[in-house]
Amino acid sequence: MKSLLSNLKISVPDKIYLKDPESSKLGKRIIEHSILLIDKIGFDCFTFKKLGVEIGSNESSIYRYFESKHKLLLYLTSWYWAWIEYQMVFTTYNVHNPTKKLLKAIEVVTKTIEKDDTFSHINEILLNKIIINESSKSYLTKEVDIENKQGYFIVYKRLVKRLRDMILEINADYKFASSLASTIVDGALHQHFLKAHFTSITDCDANISPSDFFKELAVNAITITK
């Protein structure tokens, strides 16, 4: 219970930012408009100078919140996964049947995001698109091991571990619980990408969702060897 409650808050590892963007109006505008701008022009073309123009503020002011656009991406991904984790813990909390619980968790992790008005300055639909298109760039770098040691990816890893634990609750003997969990989380993003851009190599479309695929895949993987 304690462990659950301590993670319900959308909190991002504090080493990621220089100054907490949640602590000021400008900080919130930075987050709000960085999501809009990254979605619009892509992370590769996104710069703090362009963001400054967008929010009518100065480049140098943005640098006081984030060292680099890479750190900003780390912030956005951590926020996103913490938000997903919150929903996962919340929706599975009073579900006692292990299989039902896992299916609910997979649903949360793999579904197409809908509007959420809890956090007014964050557009979760666009943020989800950014996660699909850009989040892997946050760890596919030469600095990944150093940054991993500094805890920049704990939220993501914690989410995968929660999923792994639910898998093991169903079948403690399943040998690939961690790999299955990480495959579901990463694979869902990939299927959403394929659905939008490479339709010929996915079955996901208006009728079939990534959730359908991964739910069946997971249940078959875990229960067949039971």
Question: Which residues between 42 and 61 bind DNA (CB under 7 A)?
Answer: 45-50, 56-61
Placement of tokens 């100065």 in the chain: 58
* Among a second copy, DNA, none, partner that 180 touches (CB below 5 to 8 angstroms by kind): a second copy
Question: Which residues between 123 and 152 bind a second copy (CB under 8 A)?
Answer: 133-134, 136-137, 139-142, 144-145, 148
Question: Which residues between 65 and 94 bind DNA (CB under 7 A)?
Answer: 67-70
Q: Which of 63, 86, 55, 71 is closest to 15 using CA atoms?
A: 71
Distance CA 140, CA 183 (A): 16
Length reported for the chain: 226
Taking the CB of residue 224, how many other CB atoms lie within 10 A of it?
A: 9
* Among DNA, a second copy, none, partner that 144 touches (CB below 5 to 8 angstroms by kind): a second copy
61 within 8 A of 27, measured Cβ to Cβ: no
* 43 to 72: interface string for a second copy, x by CB under 8 A: -xx---------------------------
Distance CA 24, CA 29 (A): 9
Nearer of residues 60 and 118 to DNA, judged by Cβ: 60
16 within 8 A of 71, measured Cβ to Cβ: yes
- Gyration radius of the chain's alpha carbons: 18
Would you count residue 116 as binding DNA (CB under 7 A)? no
Residues forming contacts to a second copy in the complex (CB under 8 A) are 41-42, 44-45, 133-134, 136-137, 139-142, 144-145, 148, 153, 157, 160-161, 164, 175-183, 186-187, 190-191, 193-194, 197-198, 200-204, 208, 210, 212-213, 216-217, 220-221, 224-225
